[in-house]
Amino acid sequence: MANPTPSQAAEKHSSGTKSTLTITDNRTGKSYELPIENDTIRAMDLRQIKVKDDDFGMMTYDPAFMNTASCKSKITFIDGDKGILRYRGYPIEQLAEKSNYLETAYLIIHGELPTKSQYEEWEKRIMTHTLVHENIKTFVDGFHYDAHPMGMLVSTVGALSTFYTDAKNIKDAESRKLQIYRLVGKMPTLAAFAYRHSVGRPYVYPDNELSYPGNFLNMLFKMTEIKYKVNPVLERALDVLFILHADHEQNCSANAMRSVGSSQVDPYSATAAAAAALYGPLHGGANAEVLYMLDQIGSKSNVPAFVKAVKEGKGKLMGFGHRVYKNYDPRAKIIKKLADEVFEVTGRNPKLDIALELERIALEDEYFIKRKLYPNVDFYSGLIYQAMAFPVDMFPVLFAIGRTCGWVAQWEELLLDQEQKIARPRQVYLGYGERDYVMMGKSIGSLNCNRRTTRRTT
């Protein structure tokens, strides 16, 4: 969409007031009227603000994108103050209760819930793309015996670009569709191969008679039996966990997907970048930290002392707090309920009692109330994963499987957005001005330093 013209800018807001922002530059006394659209001003409209004609012009400075919208999106809505999460308008609570992951993935990618025939076609497409090239097995075999499964996933999903060179045709809608089937279909297989390698077990091929989560459990846990029998409660729990992780608007990994995708690279390479972003402990790794924290606390009776230490700044309450949610994370509420169903099958995770006590005490405490710190999605998810026999290293991998549909939806939305270009932020340069090169070992007055410098020889 083109920038509104000044006359458009002067258009009246529905309330009768003008939808513009007037800025006065006190350096020059000049005023500028900038259009407001969707409660934002365009950063490029600030460029006209200059002291001298040959100045570069005003920019915004926003490390970590604290208050900058990088795109317009129709995929996911979050209201962090009210604790609302919706995919394409549908509340997460309804999807978690009534939908399944593949249907939710269809919704996220296509924008609408599928009809019965659309769903059947979609499921068939995804499930017929679960197999990977045999060479991928050799590739996974090459990893060290104790390689982290997330490191293996990042590498193997990136390697898919070498198997599907047609994926470079990112402007071709049919090609994009095919890569999306492949990515959503193959992620569980790559994840399962990484797990089986790490425990030294033979790889299990997909069984397409099973559901998407059922097949994943089969590829992970099948031993010598002819047909793996999926526990329906665990199958449903995993499906719900995938739904809860399917998208979360412009989070760190979605931003990586868009940023790398904006170079017009193939989607496998962009997904590898997104998965790498997810690998970090501040993003997909927090639920593992919750488990370590609960182990450290050890028992319910130690909770008050632990909370006291957190309040004294001696650590964080992992699984609490969120950049966007300043209320109970709606996903955490669903997971808490799901935990009861899972524990009925697996037996209760003894750490649950410590977690419940932590939540009870924290939610009554002035420190957490004042800072609006509530449980986030990671507070209870690790407890469920552990009860389901997933090793801690697999937690971010499980997150990546669910999030793949969100990544590809964000990627396609980016590619179809006429306003988007290669992502390339500006910087505020605070380094040296021009200075002359100094030969090694020679001493010379620096152009921009007040002292004489000698270039080190070691």
Site for ligand ACO in 318-347 (CB under 6 A): 318-323
The residues near 431 (Cβ < 8 Å, ≥ 6 apart) are: none
Stretch that binds ligand ACO, among 30-38, 152-160, 368-376, 389-397 (CB under 6 A): 368-376
Per-residue string for binding with ligand ACO, 284-303, x by CB under 6 A? --x-----------------
Residue 143 or residue 380: which is nearer to ligand ACO going by CB? 380
What residues between 110 and 129 interact with ligand ACO by CB under 6 A? none
Q: Could you tell me if 321 and 332 are in contact, meaning their C-beta atoms sit under 8 angstroms apart? A: no
Q: Which of 50, 110, 283, 300 binds ligand ACO (CB under 6 A)?
A: 283
Phi, psi of 27 (to 5 degrees): -75, -30
Nearer to ligand ACO, 195 or 306 (CB): 306
b/e code 189-222 from CB counts within 10 Å (16+ = b): bbbbbbbbbbeeeebbbbbbebbbbbbbbbbbbb
Smallest separation, CB 370 to ligand ACO (Å): 9
- Copy the structure tokens of residue 212: 């998407």
Q: Which of 283, 353, 365, 417 is catalytic?
A: 283
Catalytic, 378? Answer yes
**Tokens for 34?**
């900038």
Following CA atoms 89, 118, 100, 82 in sequence, which dihedral angle do they give, to the nearest 10 degrees?
0
Question: Is residue 322 among the annotated active site residues?
Answer: yes
Of 377, 388, 397, 408, the residue at the interface with ligand ACO (CB under 6 A) is 377
| Dihedral over Cα of 357, 360, 363, 367: its sign | negative
Measured distance CA(183)–CA(270) in Å, rounded: 11
Cβ distance to ligand ACO smaller for residue 230 or 317: 317
| Residue from the set 95, 240, 373, 394 that interacts with ligand ACO by CB under 6 A | 373
**Residue 386 bridge partners (DSSP):** none
Per the DSSP assignment, residues forming a β-bridge with 443 are 454
Stretch binding ligand ACO (CB under 6 A), from 210-218, 233-241, 370-378, 428-436: 370-378
Applying CB under 6 A, which of residues 47, 229, 360, 371 lies at the interface with ligand ACO? 371
359 binds ligand ACO per the rule CB under 6 A: no
Q: Select from 3-11, 261-269, 353-361, 371-379 the region that touches ligand ACO (CB under 6 A).
A: 371-379
User: In this complex, which beta carbon is closest to ligand ACO, that of residue 322 or of residue 336?
Assistant: 322
Segment near ligand ACO (CB under 6 A), from 182-190, 267-275, 278-286, 389-397?
278-286
Q: Which position's Cβ is nearest ligand ACO?
A: 321
**Phi and psi torsions of 129, nearest 5°:** -110, 25
Q: What is the CA radius of gyration of the chain?
A: 26
Those residues with Cβ within 8 angstroms of residue 124's Cβ, 6 or more apart along the chain or in another chain: none
Residue 399 beta carbon to ligand ACO: minimum distance, rounded to whole angstroms:
8
Find the part of the chain contacting ligand ACO (CB under 6 A) among 16-24, 206-214, 373-381, 447-455.
Answer: 373-381
Least CB distance to ligand ACO at residue 267 (A): 23
CB of 426 to ligand ACO, least distance (A): 23
Residue 130 neighbours by CB distance under 10 Å: 24
Site size with ligand ACO, rule: CB under 6 A: 17
- Percent of residues in the chain assigned helix, strand, coil, to nearest 5: 50, 5, 40
**110 has catalytic annotation:** no
Q: Which stretch binds ligand ACO (CB under 6 A): 68-76, 202-210, 255-263, 375-383?
A: 375-383
Q: Which of 247, 322, 329, 393 is catalytic?
A: 322
Q: Does 310 bind ligand ACO (CB under 6 A)?
A: yes
Q: What is the DSSP string of 383-444?
A: HHHHHTT--GGGHHHHHHHHHHHHHHHHHHHHHH-TT-----------S--------TT-EE
SS3 at position 307: helix
Q: Binding residues for ligand ACO, per CB under 6 A?
A: 282-283, 286, 310, 316-323, 371, 373, 376-378
Residues noted as catalytic: 283, 322, 378
